[in-house]
Structure 1
Amino acid sequence: MPVNDPVVAEQTPAEDHTIDQCWDRYTEEEHQVWTTLYERQMKVLKGRAAPEHFKGLELLNLNDGGIPNFDRINEKLYKLTGWQVVAVHGLIPNDVFFDHLANRRFVAGRFIRDADKLDYLPEPDIFHDVFGHVPLLTLPTFADYMQAYGEGGYKAIKHDTIENLTRLYWYTVEFGLINTPEGRRIYGAGIVSSQSESRFCLEGRSPNRIHFDLERIMRTDYRYDDFQQTYFVIDSYEELMESTANVDFTPIYERIKNLPDIPAHKVLPTDKVYHEGTQEYARAGGLAKQVEWV
């Protein structure tokens, strides 16, 4: 739980870990932080983010008077794809997270970062969760993928393969890239909410850019504290859906459980490689805690 948010601290979470957003309790300073982040990010995302992200921002009107009100978002979002956004007190257990997704509820933190900490957070805030994730939930195919991911979480718990499934979420929902007629674009929320990684992932010499491969991703380590060393690229959201939603993961888990993890920087002979990175950024030590939370 973020210690600097008294509105969160005074609430007792429900059994499903949700709390009231208490939108009317946000301060003018907090609303201004959202506006600053929004305007800054829209500039850097021009020509970099997927068109579906911009469309989702427009459909939900996410820059109307500061921090979005979940009640207003949900009126529009539910009509479009049957999803809702719910506030939670902080990071929640895996089984609760999967249950929310499986029932078309996206969990979001209530708090927003301080004005003097725009570029780094130890955990995701409402800007990351809502600006980053929610726009694509207006797209039926991606909305279905997120529900299917939640349903798949039940099986991952049963097979003790949460880490493998987490990697899939990490390299798609958080840090995925997509090929479009206009060029390669960002759809992962961890990138679209990060000023510096929005440039790094597409234009940097350092990271690998490799085509999506389900089993390969589920074996690949990732960076949780810095820019990624490899980004995976899909050709369409339909490819993502068809490759995962109607697939029995049980035999996949059986195949990979005794295989070694693939280092985050590694390029395999079987990879479809768009760009083999120099890894110069990672070898130099990266920026670690100086970069934004992604």
Structure 2
Amino acid sequence: MKTRILGRTGASISEIGFGAWQIGGSWGDVSEEDGKRALHAALDSGVNFIDTADVYGDGRSEKIIAAVLKERGGKKPFVATKAGRRLNPHVADGYTGANIEAFIDRSLKNLGVDTLDLVQLHCPPTDVYYRPQLFEALDQLVAKGKIRHYGVSVERVEEALKAIEYPGVATVQIIYNIFRQRPQYLFFAEARKKNVGIIVRVPLASGLLSGKIGRDTVFAADDHRNFNRHGEAFDVGETFAGVPFEAALEAVEELRKLVPADVPMAQFALRWILEQEPVSVVIPGARNATQAQSNAAASALPPIDGTAMQAIAAVYERLIKVHVHQRW
């Protein structure tokens, strides 16, 4: 497993991390035992970066992580969590220092630690990025010792660019994949200038870029790929990267032709992201140990050749860009 530096945190982390949304909820039935096995497998494969949130299963994900790390003992991986989506209603005025501190206190308890490695504002309303008092409150939480670093998880490139104007923002989590290429055109360069770590989520477009989803695939009622296809519960960009299902399936068939015969398509899609040097870590999820091991193995793949990279760019331009590029 290759490592990269997480921006100004200075932490050396695995370039493939573990996204812990699936072991929390909203991905159909993933048992606690399967979630634990998936996380153990990732850690056994060299992963040392875990990303979770306080709303994943209402704390279930954080508690599973705590249990696994207690079982393993030894040196702890870097654990990032997120806060803010517990607000009801989820509005900008709810993002106060007091509310965020209360959420942090809950995550400290769920994860069984005295200090959180990284707390990220969890896709807040755009207005939040224009409220410097909140970022000052986060600085105070660092000074208190409750968090080591803080960052933001964003929906839009514009939000990411605004967030990194604040000197305390150490990381930005953003959707970036073969179907969502806009971040590479400006944001990556700006983040690199400011030594901001980049955490890439939704790398497989909710499984579409695994090549295993088809028109007849059935998703469980509690799977967001069923209930959030049009943004009914949260930003539609989080589900299938916001690409209309039929258009995405057409693009997947074009991309399949570019994948080497001995490489799983999911690993190929992860490797494509790692071609971008400013990326610090990619955080695919996993429902089981096999998926976790396969995700981690993407770190060992050789670079994608220039011809294939150009062909991928052409598929994006022809089939995907019109649906997503200016929206996010």
TM-score, structure 2 as length reference: 0.27
Q: Higher relative contact order by CA 8 Å / sep ≥ 6: 1 or 2? A: 2
